[in-house]
Amino acid sequence: GAVVSQHPSWVICKSGTSVKIECRSLDFQATTMFWYRQFPKQSLMLMATSNEGSKATYEQGVEKDKFLINHASLTLSTLTVTSAHPEDSSFYICSARELLPTGELFFGEGSRLTVL
Amino acid sequence: QKEVEQNSGPLSVPEGAIASLNCTYSDRGSQSFFWYRQYSGKSPELIMFIYSNGDKEDGRFTAQLNKASQYVSLLIRDSQPSDSATYLCAVNTGFQKLVFGTGTRLLVSP
């Protein structure tokens, strides 16, 4: 099946710094990717829809200036958490849909961010 | 009302038993429904998807969909300890977006 790769798998940073997470579709092109956030014992919450070549669409309550999304190519989307704070510590997961043949949504391995 | 609701569990079943996981959704226009399994600290992995009313079977897994009642369920036959995980129900609300339930934690005891 299709593979979506995320990097880094985990990152620890100091409060106030910025962290970039990459999401790559390895064997298919993804015009749309999705970024989710999952806090402990909670479900996945969609943060934004990343559109190749255009601006991301953010869900209500998600600060677009804090969570910068860039989808510069058909295989790469990046999420940058700017000026990270401890409350941003979470499990960030990207996903991408393979249009053909199944339309299945594939998830990356996730990136665990810890902000000290 | 949450868009997708699941009992958080844990649901405990003995090895070899049938585990039944349920999910209800609020958007009557939803067209596709997914069950994902998520192990602790890992990303979700797709188990099954279902579009049509009725049952869909894949190995030990059976998804059941009842659009009139707005519920979807997942049955796991011959449950194994390796099935112990959190099972997430997800509903496609349109525009390719999936809305996830909070998940049901399943514990299968040897």
B71 touching A (Cβ < 8 Å): no
Q: Measured between CB atoms, which of B44, B49, B96 is closest to A32?
A: B96
Banded model confidence at residue B12, pLDDT cuts 50, 70, 90: very high
B19, B106 Cβ separation under 8 angstroms: yes
Q: What is the mean pLDDT of residues A54-78?
A: 92
- What's the CA gap between A27 and A35, in Å, rounded? 19
Flag whether pLDDT at B14 surpasses 90.
yes
Mean pLDDT score across all residues of chain A: 90
Q: Is A44 within 8 Å of B49 when comparing Cβ atoms?
A: no
Tokens 């999705």 belong to A34
Query: Chain A partners of B49 at a C-beta cutoff of 8 Å?
Result: 104
Query: Chain B partners of A108 at a C-beta cutoff of 8 Å?
Result: 43
Q: Residue B69: what are its φ and ψ, rounded to 5°?
A: -95, -5
- What's the CA gap between B9 and B85, in Å, rounded? 11
Banded model confidence at residue B77, pLDDT cuts 50, 70, 90: very high
Summarised one tens digit per residue, pLDDT across range A7-61 is 999 999 999 999 999 999 998 888 889 999 999 888 899 999 988 888 899 999 9
pLDDT at position B94, please?
67
Flag whether pLDDT at A101 surpasses 60.
no
Q: What is the mean pLDDT of residues B78-98?
A: 88
For residue A109, the distance in angstroms to the closest alpha carbon of chain B comes to 5
Flag whether pLDDT at B3 surpasses 80.
yes
Amino acid at A25: S
| B36 bridge partner residues | B46, B88
Summarised one tens digit per residue, pLDDT across range B32-50 is 899 999 999 899 998 999 9
SS3 labels along chain A: CCCEEEECCEEEECCCCCEEEEEEECCCCCCEEEEEEECCCCCCEEEEEEECCCCCEECCCCCCCCEEEEEEECCEEEEEECCCCHHHCEEEEEEEECCCCCCCEEECCCEEEEEC
Q: Measured between CB atoms, which of B43, B96, B100 is closest to A97?
A: B96
Q: What is the phi-psi region of residue A100: left when phi exceeds 0, alpha when psi lies from -120 to 50, beta otherwise?
A: beta
- What's the CA gap between A56 and A53, in Å, rounded? 9
Query: Chain B partners of A93 at a C-beta cutoff of 8 Å?
Result: 43-44
pLDDT at position B92, please?
85
pLDDT at position B25, please?
95
